[in-house]
Amino acid sequence: MAILEVKDIKKNFGNVEILKGISFDMEKGQTLSILGSSGSGKTTLLRCLNFLEIPDDGEITVNGNVLFDGSCGNLSDSELNKSRLHFGMVFQQFNLFPQYTALENVTLAPELLDKNRNRQDILEEGKVLLEKMGLSDRMNNYPHQLSGGQQQRVAIARALALKPDILCFDEPTSALDPELTGEVLKVIKELAEQHTTMIIVTHEIEFARNVSDEILFMDGGFIVERGAPAQVIDNPENERTKKFLSSIHRKA
């Protein structure tokens, strides 16, 4: 059974159609990368999956449980919050709380969501996650004391702290200087090697080739091509995909 099934997701902002019927599925342990030009709907799709935006129609199913069905009316706040827990989101701009240390940023949500848990257990889990991110010596640092790459790795640890079914990244290196990009991509690649289920919206074509089990290419609110990296990147069939990749290669 697929861990995630997305059927005919649509999203409008006012009179503008952003997602025009998106359908795909993925298996547990897979890494799926989403490519496409600006305005193609990539980030909106990711935000709909995380329920940061509510789709106008369609269906989202995780582990066989329907989290969203556009034909059934609006979700309550409690239903939305419960659905969001299936997804961990890593944003472009880190979104760390500046008044909290790295460790506090990672442990805040688990503490708030389960007040009956032993706080020491939560702290230990947070420390383990930061150690996995290579930040064992930065746990007590505040965000302003960390480089952009370090902040993004704290954000990844924070997303993992709630043990989501699917970890989502929205252009995880776009806010980083080129010299810091590599350290974040290395962490994501290690997560992929550990079969962490991930969806990555990225502009890093070679990274997508190396880390992905499958790639979706979006254009104009549709998925216009889907397949293994070798097929989509090296032998695209759709003319829009070919044009996009050709423009990337020219810039490189």
- pLDDT tens for 82-126 read 999 999 999 988 899 999 999 999 999 999 888 788 899 999 999
Q: What is the mean pLDDT of residues 187-215?
A: 94
- Are 246 and 66 a contacting pair, CB within 8 Å? no
Token pair, residue 178, equals 């080129």
Question: Cα(212)–Cα(223) distance, rounded to whole angstroms?
Answer: 17
Question: Cα(127)–Cα(107) distance, rounded to whole angstroms?
Answer: 9
- Please state the pTM of the whole predicted model: 0.93
Q: Report pLDDT for 16.
A: 95
Q: Report pLDDT for 251.
A: 55
Q: Is pLDDT at 249 greater than 80 in this prediction?
A: no
- Are 55 and 11 a contacting pair, CB within 8 Å? yes
Distances (CA, A) of 149 to 61, 83, 134, 170, 195: 33, 29, 11, 15, 22
